[in-house]
Chains A and B, each alone.
Chain A
Amino acid sequence: MKNVNMPGKATLVAAGLAAAVGLTASVAVAAETVVMAVPNFLTGAGAPAFGVPARNGAEVIIEAINKGSLPAPYDKSGKGLAGRQIEALYYDESGGGTKQVAEFRNKVQKQGVDLFVGFISSGTCAAITPVAEELKMLTIFPICGTPRIFEEINKTPKYVFRTMGHATADGVAEARYVMANMPDVKGYTGINQNYAWGQDSWRDFDLAMKQLMPDVPASDKAQWPKIFSGQYGTEISALMLSKEPLVHSSLWGGDLEAFIFQGSARGLFRKKKLLFSVADTSVYRLGKKAPAGAILGARGPYGIFAANVDTPLNNWFRKVYSDRYSTPPVGGSYQAAQGVLAAKHAYDKAAAANGGKFPSTDQVIAALEGSTFQGIAAKVHMNRSNGHQAATKHMIGVLEWDKEAGEPIMTKVTEFGPDCVMPPPGVNGTEWLKGGMKGAKC
């Protein structure tokens, strides 16, 4: 036993001191950063259309914030969030609400996350909202669309924010666009996935149409394919047999692209006018295969709708993103980047109000509540749901192929102000629609 190299007392003391110094140093380093969890779909069917573009959009902005290289109006805001570097923790949103709630708790309680900026699925956001409030964790939803987050699940949020308009704005903008550009339309039908997003999208468009164009009938045979079914032959036949000339669709990602391939082969887009509420996610990938002449939305002023927004911030974002990922940023990229910018705006504003010292979470929340900040392509007004729900302008247009530029472009674009398409503060979206959209300022 004597041959065993046991540490002496002096060694143990030295080791203990070293460990203590190391621990202190590590705590000191940790204290200098803000740990930002960035959950998005990185695997599964949601990854290509939303998840990966969102992750990439967030990454571009986070890196620029850390370097202090954001263009105006953030060019004088210094590095990091209130001077502290962001330590980004990208992870996968796949697996459903239960798994994500467990992951959220794990990130908060074991990994010391300071804030979350992410979540794409409305289902995930619905599951996370009460847990974020329970754990007092600042959580910014940059993308998910269901109005139920602040209209049903939590009407008095403190820790949860959403930095883009919700699905009601999409339906209203689409219906207003149809009223202005297709006044003689004889009827409308739809094809939407049979889950929360598809059902909410159709409900809001249908309700808005009933108010704006009450004499235009809706089909009683709107199509409800299963999400990720990928096979739309029968639905396309049913749409082609229907008498309604306008087809509303909130299909996205692989489902949308499969529908476009299968519909193009059968002449659907020559026979019917298609209105796609989130097809911007696919137009760059589809290129010439994207159906020219279709009406398109991007859930706001994002993606292809921001292609011609000539500001230093937008020009920089599109260039850096396109150079790095070899494709222009789509809606999800913009929306995720906007969520990170919300954090930047809130931390810096809170620090300024705190005499330059790093702010507490409550101070950051107070700074973000009800504020207005510059997104990548538009102003974001946090003026709904007690200052926790954003309203932005909305854009709808017609997709065409620019032969000279060799890329898709938007034409006949109409811009709707935030107060034209979002329900007024404190008003439930569905009730607002049913009541004739009173108070809308268009």
Chain B
Amino acid sequence: MQELIVILVDGLVFSSYLFMVAVGLTVIFGVMKILNVTHGSFYAFGAYMSATLIGIYYETDLPEFGGFVAIFLAAIIIGVVFGIVLERGLLRFLYHRDEHIIVLATFAMFLVLEDVLLMIWGTDPYFAYQPMALLESVDIAEMTFATYNLTLIALAVVVGLGLWLGLTQTKWGKLLLAVIFDREISQAMGINVTVVFLVTFVIGAIMGALGGAYIAPTISVSPGIGVEVIVLAFAVVVIGGMGSIPGAMIGALLVGISRAAAVHKFPEVELFVIYAIMAAVLALRPEGLFAPAQARKI
């Protein structure tokens, strides 16, 4: 019984991590139909900025819990700056191009940003453990868990719910859904698609940066962290259905809990599990679990 509870908690924590790194990717794809490889850069820059701001903050005598503000501030700074610069400076020139060209362009930008990251922060790793140390640990089923990791579950729920409510219950969300449904008709009806695209890309960038910023206190922030994340995020998004927020959540849960069970019961197949699920979903439902059926334009 203890092992079952631990698997569940571990699975939820890892699922939350997966959701946080995948949700921005799926939001951008859902609206803009762009498979954005620079999402890994948003994550990496978010983590570096978070580590930097946390480091600066804890050099001061300000209240310790204020360090959490630095995390969210880092995500907003990176998301807004990179979102605007990339969308206005690169992507808007490519919207009329084939999707494959856009993927290649974002991949090229990802490689460029990897070097930019090295130019700014160098190769030395950054540590920002203070927020995690501050929250200490809790015992669940006689197993000690870092409280900070459990807060990731809450953050994923808040982000998921917030995005879902924003999309379905607000005027802005309905505009987005209209663009998702048909870009050309929306434009003909007077929706400013240019602004919708920009805002969506910035929101997606903030989500990606938030994933990195929030994870930063639990890792060694070092070169290359964006590479692994983008692979995982793609797997989750493909399983859930590209562009679907509930899909990303279910995909993350499916992968997270299956992986946790594998680590505890059959650790040698840990790697296999994630991609086996992806392969199975693609074989049975190539559009992913939650992607809406697409009407084909003639």
Are A and B co-members of a single complex? yes
Using CB atoms and an 8 Å cutoff, list the residues of chain A in contact with chain B: 42-48, 51-52, 194, 221-226, 228-231, 233-235, 237-238, 240-241, 253-254, 256-258, 261-262, 265-267, 285-286, 289
* Residue from B132, B149, B220 within 8 A of A257 (CB atoms): B220
Residue of B nearest to A225 (CB): B270
Interface status of B154 (Cβ within 8 A of chain A): no
Given contacts A228-B227, A257-B127, contact A238 B14 (CB under 8 A): no
B223 engages A222 (CB within 8 Å) = no
Closest-CB distance, A28 to chain B (whole angstroms): 37
Output the residue of B149, B220, B224, B271 with the most chain A CB within 10 A.
B220
Q: Which of A47, A221, A261, A266 contacts B220 (CB 8 A)?
A: A261
A259 to B99 Cα, complex, angstroms: 38
Flag if A262 contacts B222 (CB, 8 Å).
Answer: no
Instruction: Evaluate contact between B264 and A45: CB separation under 8 angstroms.
Output: no
14 residue pairs from A and B, CB less than 8 Å apart: A43-B115, A44-B227, A45-B222, A45-B224, A47-B223, A51-B123, A230-B225, A234-B259, A234-B263, A237-B263, A240-B144, A254-B221, A258-B219, A286-B127
Q: Closest residue of chain A to B264, judged by CB?
A: A238
Bound CA–CA A229/B228 (angstroms): 7
Q: How large is the interface on B (under 10, 10 to 19, 20 to 34, 35 or more residues)?
A: 35 or more
Interface of chain A: mostly helix, strand, loop or mixed: helix
Query: Could you say which of B123, B136, B149, B268 has the most chain A C-beta atoms within 10 Å of its C-beta?
Result: B123
Which chain A positions have C-beta within 8 A of B218?
A: 231, 258, 261-262, 265
Q: Which residues of A contact B265 (CB under 8 A)?
A: 221
Kindly name the residue among A225, A234, A237 whose own CB sees the greatest number of chain B CB atoms within 10 A.
Answer: A234
Residues of B within 8 A of A52 (CB): 123-124
Given contacts A230-B215, A253-B222, A265-B133, 6 further A-B contacts (CB under 8 A): A43-B123, A45-B222, A194-B270, A222-B267, A224-B268, A233-B149
4 nearest A-B pairs in the assembled complex, by CB-CB distance: A257-B220, A45-B224, A265-B146, A234-B10
Instruction: Point out which of B17, B114, B219 has the most chain A C-beta atoms below 10 A from its C-beta.
Output: B219
Partner of B267, one of A45, A238, A256, A289: A238
Among residues 1 to 58 in chain B, which have CB atoms less than 8 Å away from a CB atom of chain A? 2-3, 6, 9-11, 13-14, 17
- The interface residues of chain B lying within 8 Å CB-to-CB of A267 are 137, 144
Identify which of B17, B115, B148 contacts A231 (C-beta below 8 A).
B17
* Contact among A48, A265, A266 for B222, CB-based, below 8 A: A48
The answer to whether B132 and A254 have CB atoms under 8 Å apart is no
B125 within 8 A of A: yes
Q: Which residues of A contact B219 (CB under 8 A)?
A: 230-231, 254, 257-258, 261
Nearest CB in chain B to that of A260: its residue: B220
Q: Which of B127-184 contact A (CB under 8 A)?
A: 127, 129, 132-133, 136-137, 143-146, 148-149
A231 and B123 form a contact (CB under 8 A): no
Is B238 on the interface with A (CB-CB < 8 A)?
no
**Complex contact B270–A226 (CB within 8 A):** yes
Give bound CA distance, A48 to B114, whole Å.
Answer: 15
B263 touches A223 (CB 8 A): yes
Given the interface pairs A234-B260, A266-B144, the reply to whether A42 lies near B220 with Cβ below 8 Å is no
CB-contact partner of A266 in B11, B129, B146, B223, under 8 A: B146
Complex Cα spacing A253 to B144, Å: 25
Whole-angstrom distance between the Cβ of B127 and the nearest chain A Cβ: 7
> By CB atoms of chain B within 10 A, which of A43, A52, A240 has the most?
A43
Residue from A223, A231, A267, A285 with most neighbouring chain B CB atoms (10 Å) = A231
What 0/1 readout, one digit per residue, does chain B (254-270) give for beta carbons within 8 Å of chain A?
A: 00000110011101101
- Bound CA–CA A238/B265 (angstroms): 9
Do A237 and B115 touch across chains, with their CB atoms under 8 A apart? no
Contacts of A233 in B (CB 8 A): 10, 13-14, 145-146, 149
The reply to whether the CB of B118 lies closer than 8 angstroms to some CB of chain A is: yes
Q: Are B137 and A266 in contact (CB under 8 A)?
A: yes
- Write the B237-278 contact mask toward A (1 if CB under 8 angstroms, else 0): 000000000000000000000011001110110110000000
Given that A48-B123, A237-B6, A237-B10 are known contacts, is A265 also in contact with B224, CB under 8 Å in the complex? Answer: no
Cross-chain contact B264 with A234 (CB below 8 angstroms): yes
Q: How far in angstroms is the closest Cβ of chain A from B155?
A: 15
A220 to chain B: closest CB distance in Å? Answer: 9
A272 to chain B, nearest CB (A): 12
Cβ-closest chain B residue relative to A194? B271
In angstroms, Cα B227 to Cα A202, docked, is 26
**Which residues from chain A contact B227 at a C-beta distance below 8 Å?**
44-45, 228
A236 CB to nearest chain B CB (Å): 9
Using Cβ atoms and an 8 Å threshold, which residues of chain A touch B13? Answer: 233-234
> Which of B14, B124, B127, B144 is close to A289, meaning CB atoms less than 8 Å apart?
B127
B127 — which chain A residues lie within 8 A by C-beta?
A: 257, 261, 285-286, 289
The interface residues of chain B lying within 8 Å CB-to-CB of A241 are 2-3, 6, 143, 264
The CA of A231 and the CA of B149, in the complex, are separated in Å by: 10
Cα distance, A258 to B221, chains bound together (Å): 9
Closest B residue, CB atoms, query A235: B263
Q: How far is the CB of A38 from chain B (nearest CB, A)?
A: 16
Q: How far is the CA of A194 from the CA of B129 in the complex (A)?
A: 26
B145 touches A228 (CB 8 A): no
The answer to whether A42 and B263 touch across the interface, beta carbons within 8 angstroms, is no
CB neighbours (8 Å) of A46 from chain B are 224
Instruction: Tell me if B132 and A45 are in contact (CB < 8 A).
Output: no
Q: How far is the CB of A169 from the nearest CB of chain B, in Å?
A: 26
Instruction: Encode contact with A along B94-123: 1 for CB under 8 Å, 0 otherwise.
Output: 000000000000000000001100100001
Distance, CA A221 to CA B17, complexed state (A):
24
Distance in angstroms between the alpha carbons of A186 and B149 in the assembled complex: 31
Q: How far is the CB of B236 from chain A (nearest CB, A)?
A: 13
Q: Write out the residue numbers on chain A whose beta carbons fall within 8 Å of the beta carbon of B10.
A: 233-234, 237
Closest to A45 in B: B224
Asked if A238 contacts B123 (CB within 8 A), the reply is: no
Question: Which chain A residues border B137 with CB–CB below 8 Å?
Answer: 265-267
User: With A233-B13, A237-B6 known to touch, is A48 a contact of B223 (CB < 8 Å)?
Assistant: yes
- Would you call A224 and B225 a contact (CB within 8 A)? no
**Chain A residues with CB below 8 A from B114, complex form:** 43
Q: Evaluate whether A254 and B220 lie within 8 angstroms (CB atoms) in the complex, with A234-B264, A238-B264 already known.
A: yes
- A230: B residues at CB distance < 8 A: 215, 219, 225, 228
**Across-interface contacts of A51 in B (CB, < 8 A):** 123
